[in-house]
Amino acid sequence: MQLKVHHLNCSSMCPVGAKFMPSVFPKKVICHCLLIESNGGLILVDTGFCLSTLVNPKEQGAMRFLLGIEGAPDEAAINQVKSLGFSPKDVRHIVATHLDVDHCGAVVDFPWAEVHVSSLELQAVRNPRTIKERIRYPKFSDNVNWRVHDFGSGEDWFGFKSVRALSGFEDDLLLIPLFGHTRGHFGVAIKERDRWLLHAGDAYYDHKELDDQSSWALRTFMSSAHTDSVVARKSLDNLKNLKRSNPGIRVFCAHDPTEFGS
């Protein structure tokens, strides 16, 4: 199956950390999402915030201040789908690396789409174990069309274990366990022509983390953002090994603007 990938920035932000520590954090971060053309319709990998939030960021309350959400309706996934000449109804699948609001907020703009998520992540939303899990997730409608994936078993992919193929897409679109940032966080690997892309979600925030050049302040921040920092470090180590041993694979995270056009 031939897949065509469009790279989208579906929400721009200037987090509070960047305002006070510009030498540690990028001044502006993005929500790097993918729109994939396939024989089975369009697939969104992560979504950014919903259209209503990008029209009126104040609806996110304190989150608007913490993340510095910019009011940019043109960046909404649904508007970018239209600008590329597609109908929003063509979006049949949403693959959410995890369920933080900046990664799945626009699920509400595509209520007909199947939303692919790990079983561990949906459990964290429905049965949070910690205060961090209770406060980090948005409230979801009962009508979300969840498609749940279990990572108890699976295939190997360049050293990663328990990898799952998205049903109906053969081995061209894979879900890669990258647990730690959240309980069920995963990455998405896409075979585009003759190379692989790996959207690593929030397994890291800045490309310097992959090169062991991140500052103490950034590492401290990342530990505070992760649900399980020990597991998250193992996931990051796996990504470092992948980059070293397979330089032809393009690895990128959700928020680093320097990786967007690379």
How much is the pLDDT for 1?
A: 63
pLDDT in tens, 22-33: 666 667 889 999
Residues in the chain: 262
Q: What is the pLDDT of residue 18?
A: 59
Q: What is the CATH number of the domain that holds 67?
A: 3.60.15.10
CA distance 50 to 30: 14
Torsion of CA 220, 221, 224, 230, to 10 degrees: -50
Residues 217-231: what's their mean pLDDT?
Answer: 84
pLDDT in tens, 111-134: 999 999 999 999 999 999 999 999
Domain with 113, as residue range(s), is 4-259
pLDDT of residue 118: 97
- Identify the three-state secondary structure at position 110: coil
Q: Which residue has the tokens 């108890």?
A: 152
Q: pTM to 2 decimals?
A: 0.94
Phi/psi for 34 (5° steps) reads: -125, 140
Residue 159 structure tokens: 């050293």
Integer angstrom CA distances of residue 221 from 34, 205, 217 = 26, 10, 6
Token pair listed for 73: 């309706």
Q: Flag whether pLDDT at 216 surpasses 90.
A: no
Q: What is the DSSP string of 149-180?
A: E--SS-EEETTEEEEEEPTTSTTSEEEEE-TT
258 is written with which tokens? 């320097």
Domain count, the chain: 1
